[in-house]
Amino acid sequence: MSAETVYLRLGPFTAALTTPFTDVVEELKRLYPASFFQPRAEFADFHVALLPGKGMHRHLRKQARFLIDGQEHFKPLPADQALALIEWGLNYAIAGLAHHYLIVHAAAVEKNGRVAILPGSPGAGKSTLTAGLIHRGWRLLSDELALIRRHDGKVVPLARPVNLKNQSIDLMRRFAPTAVFSAPAYDTVKGTVALMRAPEESLARIDEAASPGWIVFPQWRQGDPARLERFSRPAGLVEIAHNAMNYSLHGEDGFELLAGIFAKSGCYRFSYGDLNEAASAMNALAAA
Amino acid sequence: MSAVLASPDTATADGATWRVAGQVRWRLWEDEAAVYSGRTGDTHHLADLAAWVFGFLCRGPASATGLARAAETSVELRSGEAPGAAIGRTLALLGRLNLIEKTRPEQGR
């Protein structure tokens, strides 16, 4: 297998991806716009590779390995999970290397010039809510890593495909029937996963950073009506700091950055059980 | 990082003078505070009496007695609780978090 290298734009970053898995590159080209790919680049922030497995396992089941700067940080996965492995690996690379941003494990969506940062622990419904909102008038900045610029507190877009899991995949296929989805990968560590391409408007506005307007902690609960409740800013600040990948590295500057954001943003807990209701509630918040 | 600090549980008011420990950054919103300790690198959420005591000490060192006196007119305490005991427990807990420290007598006010 001969490997090719493509240069893929990831928001403010460029990743040089080398792989012989041509089918995976083709799938990436369905999920990212053509303008995000370059045959060559003068500089890449991340040099990553998706390579076939080695050792005896590769004879039993085709495997894929993900390397960052030649280092293998993950166990190999079955080759049919290679696309998910790339997305997770790229998240890992960004979270581990892009310390000129405060990186919060959160989704970020924008409407009317203001960003809602949506932190959430796994299972909170963060990605599902994000996927729903970006098909109801919100712009996707990120579904997984909110990049907060240190000098002005603005959130910088990544606009990568949204990671969907398990029931959320079919839910979103019904909610946004025109959206582009990857083939599902089954039996991953997160269950069944699929990627959903960002809407074209989000991709076109990839260079537009925006200021936070709301910090919203979502929690999906089946059957719950959509309900926004004011939440303590100090409690929210501690929680979002806890969700940040590199808060400790930034020390008091990280605190000041978050304090500045919370001073200018509404802070809410948001429970929801239905995406249409959730979108209506969030749209009302943005219109207020 | 720490969990919310609202219910300190031990200690006594012994007349010592207390001050904020090291460099801190903090914000007060609606009687609750977010505090970053430069000494530990931790960020804390202080509520109720803990937020009030910390804010008071940010203005300058104070004794437990002075704090208890000020608390009587400035802050709502749990019903039936003596201000001195509540202040003592709060000081001890803030001390355990390295947010405040006792000063030597000549350093206090």
Q: What is the pLDDT of residues B51-64, one digit of tens each?
A: 999 999 999 999 99
| Residue B78, domain extent | 4-107
Please give the mean pLDDT across all residues of chain B.
Answer: 84
- Nearest C-alpha neighbor of B33 from the set B47, B43, B20, B22: B47
- Compute the distance between CA of residue B30 and CA of residue A66 in angstroms, rounded to an integer: 48
Q: Which pLDDT tens digit goes with each residue over A258-273?
A: 999 999 999 999 999 9
When pLDDT is cut at 50, 70 and 90, the band that residue B109 belongs to is very low
Q: Which pLDDT tens digit goes with each residue over A39-59?
A: 888 899 999 999 999 876 656
- Compute the distance between CA of residue A106 and CA of residue A120 in angstroms, rounded to an integer: 6
Calculate mean pLDDT across residues B69-78.
Answer: 82
Calculate mean pLDDT across residues A117-124.
Answer: 90
Could you tell me which chain A residue has the CA closest to the CA of B23? A252
Which own/partner contact pairs does A199-206 have at CB distance under 8 Å and 24+ positions apart? Answer: A199/A134, A199/A135, A199/A139, A199/A140, A200/A33, A201/A139, A202/A134, A202/A139, A202/A140, A202/A141, A202/A157, A202/A159, A203/A32, A203/A33, A203/A36, A203/A159, A205/A139, A205/A157, A205/A159, A206/A9, A206/A11, A206/A157, A206/A159
For an interface test with A, which of B36, B44, B54 has the most A Cβ atoms less than 10 Å from its Cβ? B36
- Identity (one letter) of the amino acid at A242? H
Neighbours of A25 (CB within 10 A): 17
Q: Which pLDDT tens digit goes with each residue over A1-37?
A: 688 999 999 999 999 999 999 999 999 999 999 999 9
User: Does the pLDDT value for residue B5 go beyond 80?
Assistant: no
Reported ipTM: 0.88
Residue B104's pLDDT is 66
- Cβ separation of B34 and A233 shorter than 8 Å? yes
Residue A7's pLDDT is 97
Instruction: Count Cβ atoms within 10 A of the Cβ of residue A132 and give its class: 0-12 exposed, 13-18 middle, 19 or more buried.
Output: buried
Calculate mean pLDDT across residues A76-84.
Answer: 94
Residue B57's pLDDT is 97
- Compute the distance between CA of residue A63 and CA of residue B81 in angstroms, rounded to an integer: 65
Residue B79's pLDDT is 65
E-state strands within chain A: 4-10, 13-19, 37-38, 46-52, 63-68, 71-72, 77-78, 101-111, 114-119, 139-142, 145-149, 155-156, 162-165, 185-188, 191-196, 211-220, 227-230, 266-272
When pLDDT is cut at 50, 70 and 90, the band that residue A127 belongs to is very high
Would you say the pTM of this structure is higher than 0.90?
A: yes
Residue A252's pLDDT is 96
**What backbone phi and psi angles, to 5 degrees, belong to A224?**
-75, 140
For an interface test with B, which of A255, A256, A258, A267 has the most B Cβ atoms less than 10 Å from its Cβ? A255
When pLDDT is cut at 50, 70 and 90, the band that residue B102 belongs to is very high
* Residues of A at the B interface, defined by Cβ within 8 angstroms: 232-235, 237-238, 241-242, 247-248, 251-252, 255-256, 259, 262-263
Calculate mean pLDDT across residues B19-47.
Answer: 96
**What backbone phi and psi angles, to 5 degrees, belong to A212?**
-65, 140
Domains for chain A: give ranges and CATH numbers.
4-97 (no CATH), 101-287 (3.40.50)
Q: Give the pair of three-digit tokens for residue A100.
A: 């000129």
Place of tokens 């000129």: A100
Per the structure, the count of domains in chain B is 1
- Compute the distance between CA of residue A49 and CA of residue A28 in angstroms, rounded to an integer: 14
- Identity (one letter) of the amino acid at A199? P
* CATH code: domain of residue B33: 3.90.930.60
Calculate mean pLDDT across residues A116-145.
Answer: 95
List, in order, residues 6 or more apart from A227 with CB less than 8 Å away: A270, A271, A272, A281
Tell me, letter by letter, the H, E, C secondary structure of B9-53. Answer: CCCCCCCCEEEECCCEEEEEECCEEEEEECCCCCEEEECHHHHHH
Calculate mean pLDDT across residues A86-97.
Answer: 95
Residue A40's pLDDT is 85
When pLDDT is cut at 50, 70 and 90, the band that residue B105 belongs to is low
User: Does the pLDDT value for residue B10 go beyond 50?
Assistant: no
Asked whether the beta carbons of A132 and A175 are under 8 A apart, the reply is yes
A233, A241, A263: residue with CB nearest B43: A241
When pLDDT is cut at 50, 70 and 90, the band that residue B6 belongs to is very low
Asked whether the beta carbons of A202 and A140 are under 8 A apart, the reply is yes
Asked whether the beta carbons of B33 and B26 are under 8 A apart, the reply is yes
**Chain B residues touching residue A237 (CB < 8 angstroms):** 27, 34, 43, 45
Residue A122's pLDDT is 83
Q: Give the pair of three-digit tokens for residue B20.
A: 């904020």
